[in-house]
Amino acid sequence: MIGIIDYGAGNLHSVLKAIKQLGYETKLITKASDHTDEITKLILPGVGNAKVAMDVLDRSGLSDYLKERVSDGIPLLGICLGMQLLLEKSEEGNVDCLGFLKGSVPEFTDESEKIPHMGWNQVTDVQNHFLFENIPEETDFYFVHSYFAMPENREDILGETNYGINFASVIGNSQVMGVQFHPEKSGKYGIQLLDNYCKQGDK
């Protein structure tokens, strides 16, 4: 079962619909007591402001819930803002984030590119990660963001995209990972990426 963190993120229901269409059981997690032992993976969706999101996660106890579940070994996938929250700190509201991965989230400052970065752009798989299984190299995915992830450790960068600069568009490791783009809005290969995450370890 896939647990989806419900803290009011704008893309919550589109992510939920995509996972259900893939045939996986889902459960919305609005508080720690919603957890059941049947949940084998978690998804942290996200659209909006980092400080507002962290305030909601902290007040609801979901920050502690996520830290406990990750400590228990449950995989976690962050999407868009949900990916940025995996790092230690965001410049958006100067807020401390979940800190699963070392690094920060600065704002795009290259005046040669329109901000926010919105639309389709290529993602290059730099580590042959399982998220990219059955997805062609340099596939386009759909982005909407003004801030970007800057992991401290190069090994935490799984995919890169160019928008004035090269930035980390997929980050993480074998347990905690995030994608800056919206797979639920990225056609068949976005859905393939979600399937790759959901089925990993369940074969």
Q: Which of the following is catalytic: 80, 92, 97, 117?
A: 80
Burial group, residue 104, by CB count within 10 angstroms (0-12, 13-18, 19+): middle
Contact 81, 12 (CB under 8 A): no
184 annotated active-site: yes
Please report the DSSP string for 82-137 in residue order. HHHTTSSEETTTTEE---SSSEEEPBP--TTS-SSEEEEEEEEESS--GGGTT--T
Sheet holding 150-151, edge to edge: 95-96, 89-90, 103-105, 150-151
For this structure, is 198 an active site residue? no
Active-site residue, selected from the candidate residues 97, 117, 184, 198: 184
**Cis preceding linkage at 116, omega within 30:** yes
Three-state secondary-structure class, residue 80: coil
Please, which residues bridge with residue 5 across strands?
29
Residue 97 appears among annotated catalytic residues: no
Tokens of 164: 């004035």
Tokens of 29: 């997690």
Q: Which of 117, 145, 182, 198 is catalytic?
A: 182
Q: 192 is written with which tokens? A: 């393939």
Is residue 168 left, alpha or beta, with left meaning phi > 0 and alpha meaning psi from -120 to 50? Answer: beta
Which two tokens mark 198?
């959901």
Active site residues: 80, 182, 184
